[in-house]
């Protein structure tokens, strides 16, 4: 049995030999891969990739988004909104209304708050139709007046409608004889000021 001192001596004695072997392996590996095409990571380019991601440009399988992070990014949400608008523009009003009804859309918390204010100020004068009950040339308003006036109310969120022009929507409904009032979601933070605005706009 070798002593510890003898083992250490042999280890240091063979150090140069091991270094030469290591250098030889590095040179051999470099020569072997010099003329080879480097492999592309499957993580960067999925198998069967068909197109770039709309957000980051990486290859994807379905020509849309490469990951949920790109889908949930601001640019991704904007792209989805534009595609939805383009799809809606190509649908007839009847088919669009049927799809909205089948989706069983219900008022969100902002719409519920505004509906409560409308029923308080004008009982039985406004009906919520944002679930597809009323579609005017591929546009679905949120409320319609059922007391003989051709008036509509739209509730817009700042995030989803920040690129939309309210004048374009008013002009669209004006072609069919409707006057439109647009309420922003931020206005619900001050109910008293909103009630004053509704009294002025709707009783004019």
Q: Are residues 111 and 79 in the same domain?
A: no
Give the pLDDT of residue 42: 46
- The average pLDDT across 163-179 equals 91
Q: Are residues 84 and 126 in the same domain?
A: no
CATH code assigned at 184? 3.40.960.10
Q: In whole angstroms, what is the distance from residue 110 CA to residue 194 CA?
A: 13
Question: Is 34 among the domain residues?
Answer: no
Give the pLDDT band (50/70/90) at residue 197.
Answer: very high
Give the pLDDT of residue 41: 44
Q: In whole angstroms, what is the distance from residue 10 CA to residue 113 CA?
A: 84
Residue where a domain stops, chosen among 39, 62, 90: 90
Largest CA distance in the chain: 108
Q: In whole angstroms, what is the distance from residue 52 CA to residue 61 CA?
A: 9
Give the pLDDT of residue 139: 84
Q: In whole angstroms, what is the distance from residue 1 CA to residue 32 CA?
A: 42
Question: Is 189 among the domain residues?
Answer: yes
More confident residue, 71 or 127: 127
Residue where a domain stops, chosen among 62, 90, 118: 90
Q: Are residues 86 and 146 in the same domain?
A: no
Which domain does 128 fall in, by range? 105-202
Q: Are residues 115 and 186 in the same domain?
A: yes
Question: Is 22 among the domain residues?
Answer: no
Least confident residue range of 7-21, 50-64, 75-89, 140-154? 7-21
Q: In the chain, how many domains are there?
A: 2
Kindly tell me if the per-residue pLDDT of 181 is higher than 70: yes
Kindly tell me if the per-residue pLDDT of 84 is higher than 80: no
Q: Are residues 110 and 198 in the same domain?
A: yes
Residue where a domain stops, chosen among 65, 90, 115: 90
Q: Are residues 195 and 109 in the same domain?
A: yes
Question: Is 128 among the domain residues?
Answer: yes
Q: Are residues 129 and 78 in the same domain?
A: no
Kindly tell me if the per-residue pLDDT of 159 is higher than 70: yes
Tens digit of pLDDT for each residue in 40-56? 444 454 555 567 777 77
Q: Are residues 63 and 142 in the same domain?
A: no
- The average pLDDT across 55-80 equals 76
Give the pLDDT band (50/70/90) at residue 163.
Answer: confident
Whether pTM exceeds 0.75: no
Number of alpha carbons in the 13 Å side-chain half-sphere of residue 91: 19
Q: In whole angstroms, what is the distance from residue 76 CA to residue 66 CA?
A: 11
């Amino acid at each position: 049995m070798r002593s510890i001192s003898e083992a250490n001596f042999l280890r240091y004695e063979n150090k140069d030999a091991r270094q030469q072997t290591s250098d030889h392996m590095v040179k051999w590996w470099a020569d072997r891969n010099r003329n080879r095409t480097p492999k592309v990571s499957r993580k960067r380019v999925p198998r069967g990739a068909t197109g770039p991601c709309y957000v980051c440009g990486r290859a994807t399988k379905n020509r849309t988004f490469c990951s949920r992070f790109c889908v949930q990014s601001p640019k991704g949400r904007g792209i989805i909104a534009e595609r939805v608008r383009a799809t809606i523009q190509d649908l007839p009003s009847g088919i669009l209304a049927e799809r909205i009804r089948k989706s069983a859309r219900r008022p969100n918390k902002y719409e519920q708050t505004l509906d409560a204010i409308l029923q308080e100020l004008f009982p039985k004068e406004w009906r919520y139709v944002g679930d597809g009950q009323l579609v005017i040339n591929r546009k679905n308003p949120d409320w319609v007046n059922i007391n003989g006036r051709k008036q509509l109310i739209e509730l817009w969120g700042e995030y989803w409608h920040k690129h939309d022009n309210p004048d374009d929507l008013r002009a669209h409904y004006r072609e069919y004889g409707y006057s439109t009032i647009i309420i922003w979601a931020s206005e619900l933070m001050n109910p008293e000021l909103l009630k004053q605005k509704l009294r002025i706009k709707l009783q004019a």
